[in-house]
Amino acid sequence: MKKLIFQFILLFFAFTSLTIAQEKILVDAVEKARSEGFSGVILVAQEGKVLYQEAIGLRSFENLVALKKNDIFEMASVSKQFTAMMIMMCQEKGLLDYDDPVGKYLDIPYRGITIRQLLTHTSGVPDYQAVMDEHWDKSKLAGNPDILEYLNRYQPPMLFEPGEKYEYSNTGYVFLASIVEKATGRDFVELMREWIFQPLGMKNTDIRSPEAKAKVKNFAAGHIKNEAGEYVNANNFHSSDYTVWLGNRKGPGRVSSTALDLLLWDQALYTDQLVSQQTMELAYSPAKLNDGTRSYYGFGWELEPKSPLGKMVMHTGDNPGYKTIIVRYIEENKTIIILNNNYHPDMMRLVEAATLSLGKW
């Protein structure tokens, strides 16, 4: 999926004249998305300066509340870059090493896996959600200890040998959050607030429980169309139930934030405030597989070394009712952040238009 996104962006540049008024392309794309029902926040920045920001659509379709630029969205898998950062901070503090065996920190039935392989989705660990969906009592709330217990109890087989190939793994990032807790002796959520959100001034960013989210006035609910073609809260659908009964999991998702807070995060990654630039360069480096080939996922980032604007790192998120993306052209310090709360197909068209406009700005 993500490789297709890279290819699509590259093809878009290859077949589009850069002499077009690129700023207008973004404005026109946003207006077209608005007319087609897109709901979300679009932000484009260069060197931390906002070049364009727009909120269109509704925070609540049921109550017809308009979205605002600083509304809070569920980040879904965009959260993984924060989990990876926690591991990198632990490594710099001497609390762990990337090539440590996972078994040094966690009691799991899988051997030969390193922390590095969890970070780069090359570990081969099985999908925890399938096991939990089959066996867990969904009247109860599950967290990382429960996930680890059920993986030990039912022991689904490895998907492949560690390091053999890349396969996106939410389980790996559950393990990473649990490793942080083991290495530090601290709660992952509290530590992320202390190490990342608070120092960076990300006042609207947190890992929130469903109860906490309900108390946040400017939380943009995720929406999906019902059988009548009307957008309703995604929590009304059975397919969204896992976000409730897996509501205590840590690592693969659950960060909620705003576009402006994500820009603070983006800019901090150009400094040594969290970790050194040497460590960040490692995070942006492809993984080496057992056969010597490369896999273009670093530490919480999808990688594209030769985009039209130089080296690009990015990540998408996908939760019931939500689509999110952050695209960072790190050689030129240019950033695209799009947060969508009605799972709309126009999101990638907006990314393309924003990318093209950055070529001009």
Identify the three-state secondary structure at position 224.
Answer: strand
Torsional sign, CA 136, 192, 206, 285: negative
Q: What are phi and psi of 44, to 5 degrees?
A: -125, 130
* Given the residues 39, 77, 79, 123, the one annotated as active site: 77
**Residue 39 annotated as catalytic:** no
Beta-carbon neighbour count of residue 210 at 10 Å? 11
Distances (CA, A) of 328 to 294, 313, 360: 21, 5, 16
257 DSSP assignment:
E
Specify which residues 206 forms β-bridges with: 256
Q: What are phi and psi of 63, to 5 degrees?
A: -100, 0
Q: Do the beta carbons of residue 304 and residue 294 sit within 8 Å? A: no
Q: Do the beta carbons of residue 315 and residue 325 sit within 8 Å? A: yes
Residues with a known catalytic role: 77
